[in-house]
Amino acid sequence: MAQFQKPGWLDNGLVRWVDHRLPIFTFVSHELYEYPTPRNLNYWWNFGSLAGIILVIMIVTGITLAMHYTPHTAMAFDSVERIMRDVNYGWLLRYIHMNGASMFFIVVYIHMFRGLYFGSYKAPREILWILGVVILLLMMATAFMGYVLPWGQMSFWGATVITNLFSAIPLVGDWIVTLLWGGFAVDNPTLNRFYSLHYLMPFVLVGVIVLHIWALHVHGSNNPIGIDTKGEQDVIPFHPYYTVKDMFGLGVFLVFFSLFIFFAPDYLGHPDNYIEANALATPAHIVPEWYFLPFYAILRAVPANFVGEWATAWMGLVFIEAKLAGVLAMFGSIAVLFVLPWLDRSPVRSSRFRPLYKWFFWIFLIDCLVLGYVGAKPAEGVYIAIGRVATIWYFAHFLVIIPLLAKFEKTKDLPKSISEPVLGGGGGSASAAASKPMEKV
């Protein structure tokens, strides 16, 4: 049986001297050695710590790259090539950083879908979830600005397209765009401020992640069954059980990461970004990085000619331009995540006990992949129709299906405790069926 024990080193004289003045060792002991974690977490729970490790990798490689990079429109592209060719192991640093961004999003998206499947956003973890969405937004801003720095064609044109979106905002739009650009087009001042912010934002991320983990440690992790832990028999200390499990998961992940770094370093990037930025030559298709594609598809799903030049929006009965409608849809697709804990009032967290939600979860996942696929295609022909249906489904999933499921879905009986299905012979479902339904949920 797992033991919750303070580590031996807490009795060391020097440790005790320091701890009496700054209880940092007590803190570590409390949050690792004595921190109770559900005993039944599966491998989908590896992705949180994995995301944290990737952030560290990104900061370390990023700071090193910054020592060699020149944020000037005339020199940025060449300075990146100098890193690739002349800096010792510069190619390695850059390929780690470049692919690390993709890895970060893969891991965080899996982490989020894990949360959606097992209902990790539900009470009492709403703030934990909201902080996670803030982290996603910060990551997106950081990644977007980072992609501008090599000053290739996609850097430049991606920056032009995305910053122009802000001009759709009524009244202050143009002012915001000028502020982002530091002038009247994407140019040297833009590159400079993006570089500055790209360096700053990861540290803001670290701050929000500290809050995220703090919020996590108040009530502890959710688990695949989605019921609260009911005592010592349901939990094990984080260390060594989950530290070693996370380390093993990290090893598997690093193999995957290395395949990209060493054998397909440009697979996730766009060839046009190896052409230096040129304000006079627009690429045939401006495509964002893959991790933005679903959102890009939503942005473009709103018809450009929605009731002529202008579209009437019911909300507030104001006139909004089609471009603004697209921008609102795109930001709305993330905004809806903030209120998810209040859209889903089903008291059952885990999909294992929600026979209908489980199916809609998978359909939603496929919907996101379809959006990603459409986002990569030119906005023409059948892709427009697919993009619209997928966008409508995206919002319907959150705004219609989830609230309705909470009302009408007949959930399965929940097991009494975590230890029961874990310790009882057979699988979790067998013991779940054997256990009596909960009186209250």
Active site residues: 217, 221, 245-246, 289
Q: Which of 19, 31, 34, 81 binds another protein (CB under 8 A)?
A: 81
User: CB of 283: closest distance to another protein in angstroms?
Assistant: 10
- Please list every residue from 310 through 329 that binds another protein, using CB under 8 A: none
User: CB of 39: closest distance to another protein in angstroms?
Assistant: 6
Q: Does 254 bind another protein (CB under 8 A)?
A: yes
Q: Which of 266, 335, 359, 392 binds another protein (CB under 8 A)?
A: 266
186 vs 418 by CB, closer to another protein: 418
User: CB of 320: closest distance to another protein in angstroms?
Assistant: 29
Q: Which of 263, 407, 410, 425 binds another protein (CB under 8 A)?
A: 263
Q: Does 365 bind another protein (CB under 8 A)?
A: yes
Q: Does 39 bind another protein (CB under 8 A)?
A: yes
One-letter-per-residue 3-state SS of the chain: CCCCCCCHHHHCHHHHHHHHHCCHHHHHHHHHHCCEEECCCCHHHHHHHHHHHHHHHHHHHHHHHHCCCCCCCCCHHHHHHHHHHCCCCHHHHHHHHHHHHHHHHHHHHHHHHHHHHHCCCCCCCHHHHHHHHHHHHHHHHHHHHHHHCCCEHHHHHHHHHHHHHHHHCCCCHHHHHHHHHCCCCCCHHHHHHHHHHHHHHHHHHHHHHHHHHHHHHHHCCCCCCCCCCCCHHHEEEHHHHHHHHHHHHHHHHHHHHHHHHHHCCCCCCCHHHHCECCCCCCCCCCCCCHHHHHHHHHHHHCCCCCCCCEEECCHHHCEEEHHHHHHHHHHHHHHHHHCHHHHCCCCCCCHHHCHHHHHHHHHHHHHHHHHHHHHHCCCCCHHHHHHHHHHHHHHHHHHHHHHHHHHHCCCCCCCCCCHHHHHCCCCHHHHHHHCCCCCCC
User: CB of 369: closest distance to another protein in angstroms?
Assistant: 5
Q: How many residues bind another protein (CB under 8 A)?
A: 53
Q: Which of 111, 125, 198, 270 binds another protein (CB under 8 A)?
A: 270
Using CB under 8 A, which of the segments 39-47, 55-63, 156-164, 346-354 binds another protein?
39-47
Q: Which of 9, 214, 248, 359 binds another protein (CB under 8 A)?
A: 248
Q: Which of 165, 168, 287, 324 binds another protein (CB under 8 A)?
A: 287
Using CB under 8 A, which of the segments 11-19, 125-133, 185-193, 363-371 binds another protein?
363-371
Q: Does 381 bind another protein (CB under 8 A)?
A: no
Q: Does 382 bind another protein (CB under 8 A)?
A: no
181 vs 242 by CB, closer to another protein: 242
Q: Does 43 bind another protein (CB under 8 A)?
A: yes
Q: Does 42 bind another protein (CB under 8 A)?
A: yes
80 vs 177 by CB, closer to another protein: 80
- Please list every residue from 86 through 145 that binds another protein, using CB under 8 A: 91-92, 95, 106
Q: Which two tokens stand for residue 80?
A: 């990146």
Residues 264, 266, 268, 272: what is their CA dihedral angle, to the nearest 10 degrees? -160
Residues 110, 111, 115, 117: what is their CA dihedral angle, to the nearest 10 degrees? 20
Contacts with another protein, residue ranges (CB under 8 A) = 1-2, 39, 42-44, 78, 81, 84-85, 91-92, 95, 106, 236, 240-241, 244-245, 247-248, 251-252, 254-255, 258-259, 261-263, 265-268, 270-272, 274-275, 284-285, 287, 290, 293, 365-366, 369, 372-373, 375-378
